[in-house]
Chains A and B, each alone.
Chain A
Amino acid sequence: MTLTSPTPGTSPSRELAAPRPRGGLVQSVNDSLVIAKRNLIRMSRIPEMVIFGLIQPIMFVVLFSYVFGGSMMIGGSTSAVDYRNFLMAGIFAQTVTFATAGAGAGIADDMHKGLIDRFRSLPMARGAVLTGRTLADLVQTALTLVVLAIVALLVGWRIHEGIPKALAGFALLLLLGYAFSWIGALIGLSVRTPEAATSGGLIWLFPVTFISNAFVPTENMASWLQPIAEWNPFSATVQACRELFGNPGVSTSEAWPMVHPVWASLIWSVLIVVVFRTLAVRKYRSASV
């Protein structure tokens, strides 16, 4: 091999070792895809993580359907089948938000192992390490949703508004998951250990997913809790999915996000991406263990 070394007296900028970056969007996309590929290879080599990621929502489906099913009043019926059909949008949404913990733990692990330092010393696009990670998580989330949808069909969940609308529902779910993985990225960059990122990525998800319309109708909640649940970004997506899937238990609340759930879901998710991506990229640029 030959080692290039700059000749004294000439401008070094023309003879830097690495090729000139393409710059702009093309480079951002390329770098993000390189990192996404790296994370997907990693995931394929740690299949137990993907499997545990699947077991949890499946367990929720089974537990909620058979433990709560029959005692819940959904749209005036206590039928267990009605509850399962009501529940599924909630479980789907909860599952995608759990991607937060994965993104957080992954990025914290990269920090911990010095990989973030390596990436930051390379002439790559600023947000690519995080974007790549969140894209890889999106792929994993999509796979999880496919398996979960099959399980849901097996326990009696059905769509009634046609395939296109159902796909639109899943698209909203993926967008929500993508948005939440940016929250995870920020958490991962902010904590000191991967373990802290896992628990830090999960604990706040419980109030967010439970103070919502996911598992019980908001109508039965305390009057002060009801508006919180209805304006919860998470609830908008759940409500939108129930509408798009034609599942029972669509909230009849007058609150704007419940009346226009698809728009509310889109706005919330995009807003979360914009805000948390900005914060996370800023944090990344000054990141140090």
Chain B
Amino acid sequence: MPGAIYAEGLVKTFGDVRALDGVDLDVPEGTVLGLLGPNGAGKTTAVRVLTTLLQPDSGKAVVAGIDVLKHPNEVRRAIGLSGQFAAVDEYLTGRENLQMVGQLYQMKARAAKARAAELLERFNLADAADRTAKTYSGGMRRRLDLAAALVVSPPVMFMDEPTTGLDPRNRQQLWGIIQELVAGGTTLLLTTQYLEEADHLAHDICVVDHGKVIARGTSDELKARTGGERVEVVVHERHHIGTAREVLAGFGKGETTVEEHTRKLTVPVSGGAKLLAEVIRELDGRGIEIDDIGLRRPTLDDVFISLTGHAAERDTGENGGPAGTPDAPGAKGRAAARKETAK
């Protein structure tokens, strides 16, 4: 039996651009699928097709057991959509927004009113319920948008980049809400460019690029494909690089890479924290002063680079990265090197 969200061979072209180039998806009931990819990878197009907003050129899509192309209006009764922009009417109050959505979901006015009050309470918007959404902060708007998507407690939810543009605190808060929702049995398809977000929320991850799913699996599976842990050392003096390299070669199970200008050495290892302690002792014994040392496990950033050959583009400007995301590994050379190992 196909999952709560199922897609087969979805193709959608806009002019010359193949936004979706044969996408297959299968999300078992009650799980979260993270659709991960850079801007323009086709994530939003996939969501738009699955939520009946866009007609694919070819392919099959089934949501909550209903054929999306044949019975779009039935599908609409079973889904909630929280889009990329907080789609709330800013001149309406939070309460009016939710009541309107409830009524358009064909609830009776009285029921819609009761439900709106309940959601405002739950999403911590009760105090602002009778203010226009224009006065809300970004985080409040997102919560209101999410509340609007949940008015009928749909069994299947779609969230298109739900935390883009949110500050770390609001992002954490929204993650909490999403986890609660999933714990309640909702099936969720979530798109994100934040690797950490997919890591945090999704049971399964599909990496998309140029309209194709280029990898799928759990976060751990994807990381395992990229290779295991590694030790990174930054030495204090440039002339110590050579010696440090010798030391690391003794512990490593692969080639040591060196970034001269940052005085950083990286070597793949196995053996975890215990090995790290030995490395430190050895470096110390040889009189090498170090600025920084650490054991790094591959992040989804690494996975992404190894799969696509380029980093997941993220806006560093006003949107900012998610809280605590490790820096994307910078050097292109390393990306290229890892690309080889991934194959």
- Name A residues whose Cβ lies closer than 8 Å to a Cβ of B: 1-6, 8-9, 11-13, 15-22, 27, 30-31, 34-35, 37-38, 41-42, 45-46, 113-115, 117-124, 128, 286, 288
CB neighbours (8 Å) of B96 from chain A are 38, 41
Please state if B92 and A19 are interface contacts (CB–CB under 8 Å): no
List 11 contacting pairs A-B, 8 Å CB cutoff, sorted by A.
Answer: A1-B153, A3-B185, A5-B185, A38-B89, A114-B83, A115-B88, A117-B87, A120-B53, A121-B79, A286-B55, A288-B48
Number of residue pairs spanning A and B whose beta carbons lie under 8 angstroms apart: 142
Q: Give the distance in Å from the alpha carbon of A124 to the alpha carbon of B81 in the complex.
A: 14
**Looking at chain B, what size class is its interface with the partner chain?**
35 or more
Q: Give the distance in Å from the alpha carbon of A113 to the alpha carbon of B97 in the complex.
A: 14
Q: Give the distance in Å from the alpha carbon of A5 to the alpha carbon of B108 in the complex.
A: 21
Q: Give the distance in Å from the alpha carbon of A20 to the alpha carbon of B74 in the complex.
A: 9
Q: What is the CB-to-nearest-CB distance from B104 to chain A, in angstroms, rounded to a whole number? A: 5
Q: A6-B155, A21-B106 are in contact. Are A16 and B77 (CB under 8 A)?
A: yes
CB neighbours (8 Å) of B122 from chain A are 1
CB neighbours (8 Å) of B189 from chain A are none
Please state if B106 and A41 are interface contacts (CB–CB under 8 Å): no
B29 close to chain A: CB less than 8 A: yes
Please state if B29 and A118 are interface contacts (CB–CB under 8 Å): no
Please state if A13 and B65 are interface contacts (CB–CB under 8 Å): yes
Q: What is the CB-to-nearest-CB distance from A2 to chain B, in angstroms, rounded to a whole number? A: 7
| Contact residue among B78, B100, B155 (Cβ-Cβ distance under 8 Å from A34) | B100
Q: A5-B185, A118-B81 are in contact. Are A16 and B53 (CB under 8 A)?
A: no
B163 close to chain A: CB less than 8 A: no
Q: What is the CB-to-nearest-CB distance from A74 to chain B, in angstroms, rounded to a whole number? A: 44
B249 close to chain A: CB less than 8 A: no
Q: A21-B73, A121-B81 are in contact. Are A3 and B106 (CB under 8 A)?
A: no
CB neighbours (8 Å) of A115 from chain B are 87-89
Q: Give the distance in Å from the alpha carbon of A22 to the alpha carbon of B104 in the complex.
A: 11
Q: What is the CB-to-nearest-CB distance from B87 to chain A, in angstroms, rounded to a whole number? A: 4
| Contact residue among A27, A113, A123 (Cβ-Cβ distance under 8 Å from B77) | A123
The residue of chain B having its C-beta at the shortest distance from the C-beta of A289 within the complex is B85
Please state if B106 and A27 are interface contacts (CB–CB under 8 Å): yes
CB neighbours (8 Å) of A3 from chain B are 153, 155, 181, 184-186
Q: A11-B65, A18-B106 are in contact. Are A114 and B84 (CB under 8 A)?
A: yes
Please state if A20 and B106 are interface contacts (CB–CB under 8 Å): yes
Q: What is the CB-to-nearest-CB distance from B176 to chain A, in angstroms, rounded to a whole number? A: 15
Give per-residue flags for B77-114: 1 if the beta carbon is below 8 A from chain A beta carbons, else 0.
11111011111111110001000110111111000000
Please state if A119 and B104 are interface contacts (CB–CB under 8 Å): yes
The residue of chain A having its C-beta at the shortest distance from the C-beta of B71 within the complex is A13
Q: Give the distance in Å from the alpha carbon of A9 to the alpha carbon of B29 in the complex.
A: 12
Q: Give the distance in Å from the alpha carbon of A212 to the alpha carbon of B268 in the complex.
A: 82
Q: Give the distance in Å from the alpha carbon of A12 to the alpha carbon of B101 in the complex.
A: 22
Given A3-B184, A30-B103, 15 more pairs with CB closer than 8 A: A3-B186, A4-B153, A5-B155, A6-B4, A6-B29, A6-B65, A13-B65, A13-B66, A15-B155, A18-B106, A21-B73, A114-B84, A114-B85, A114-B87, A118-B83
| Contact residue among A5, A11, A17 (Cβ-Cβ distance under 8 Å from B30) | A5
Q: Give the distance in Å from the alpha carbon of A41 to the alpha carbon of B84 in the complex.
A: 25
Q: What is the CB-to-nearest-CB distance from A102 to chain B, in angstroms, rounded to a whole number? A: 14
Please state if B53 and A121 are interface contacts (CB–CB under 8 Å): yes
Q: Give the distance in Å from the alpha carbon of A22 to the alpha carbon of B107 in the complex.
A: 10
CB neighbours (8 Å) of B53 from chain A are 117, 120-121, 288
Q: What is the CB-to-nearest-CB distance from A271 to chain B, in angstroms, rounded to a whole number? A: 30
CB neighbours (8 Å) of A21 from chain B are 73, 77, 106
